[in-house]
Amino acid sequence: MEQQEHDIITRMNEKFMKMSKGHKAIASYISDHYDQAVFMTAAKLGETVGVSESTVVRFATGLGYDGYPEFQKALESWVTDKLNTVQKIGAKYGNSTQSEILHSVLNADIEKIQDTLVNLDAAAFEAAVDIILKAKTIYLVGVRSCEPLADFLHFYLNMIRGNVVLVKTTSVTEMFEQMIRIGERDAIIGISFPRYSMRTLKAMEFANDRNAKVITITDSIHSPMNLYSSCNLLARSDMVSIVDSLVAPLSVINALVVALCLRQPEEVKKNLETLEDVWNNYQVYLNDEINFIDEEPMLNYPLVQKEDKS
């Protein structure tokens, strides 16, 4: 579902790049703590973020509101709409059987994957693979519901190549501390879907300022995540329940992993063989649980094209 034109979060996302340092701090806090910010006065919000009350008021007017009261009313309306999601789901699925719900949700996910397949830029995908292989260090950022996607990608990138940093933090300050050494020989992959994370956006801005390569995995060309990225992988993600559907983004990440494996199969096989030795020596798995490496193609995909014998 597309956001409304005058949605308060959309306004913040659109103006974020040109905001002052203080206004960015306010936007970031509201995006990550909207359920608390909605009850705060301008003075309290300023105190929490570390800016003056007048800065908060100017922030509100800068978004197009007549003052802080109108801004707070818009935020309250947005939060109320989000909290009413469960009621909307009840209206849509209330009379459905469990089987009907299963088919409805899975069919919706299939549609998202098909839409992603049609609209994903193949050139951007190839560029992403090249960037990941050539970068000295890869930084991964995904927070809130996108954190499992970042974890998944980190797990497999670690098997494919070294120097992969998963940025795990609850604050922007800690995020910058983990990225302090990022430079022009490095790359960052930022993963974010509505509601877009300001923490992820700031990490990508920081990486861009350090001349690092920036890859984004997001949902739309209108996503603020594209502001600092030269390589955009778009995957459709719509809310079909109280959780976001991340099936299509996960499929794109899986395709990245497979493409990377096929680009350097010998290195991947060597890494996996080393892992097998470690697991066996330190009894990480029982013998009947270990999937030993053999001559079968990894990931069930052919590693090289078969020779034409004709």
pLDDT band at 134, cuts 50/70/90?
A: very high
Query: Is the pLDDT at 124 greater than 80, yes or no?
Result: yes
Q: Hey, what are 260's tokens?
A: 């990377």
pLDDT band at 215, cuts 50/70/90?
A: very high
Are 38 and 72 in contact by the 8 Å Cβ rule? The answer is: yes
Average pLDDT of the residues in 67-73: 91
Percent of the chain with pLDDT over 70: 77
Q: What is the pLDDT of residue 237?
A: 79
Average pLDDT of the residues in 188-204: 86
Q: Hey, what are 11's tokens?
A: 């306004």
Q: Hey, what are 262's tokens?
A: 């096929």
- Report which listed range, 121-130, 163-172, 274-283, is most confident: 121-130
Max intra-chain CA distance, the chain: 78
Average pLDDT of the residues in 114-141: 91
CA-nearest of 233, 245, 50 to 127 is 233
Amino acid at 192: S
Angstrom distances, CA of residue 292 to CA of 23, 200, 300: 54, 38, 14
Q: What is the pLDDT of residue 36?
A: 84
Range with the poorest average pLDDT among 133-142, 174-183, 287-296: 287-296
Domains of the chain, each with CATH number or no CATH: 8-83 (1.10.10.10), 98-263 (3.40.50.10490), 265-300 (no CATH)
243 — phi, psi (to 5°)? Answer: -120, 155
Query: Is the pLDDT at 278 greater than 70, yes or no?
Result: no
Question: HEC profile for 157-226?
Answer: HHHHCCCEEEECCCCHHHHHHHCCCCCCCCEEEEECCCCCCHHHHHHHHHHHHCCCEEEEEECCCCCHHH
Q: What is the pLDDT of residue 236?
A: 85
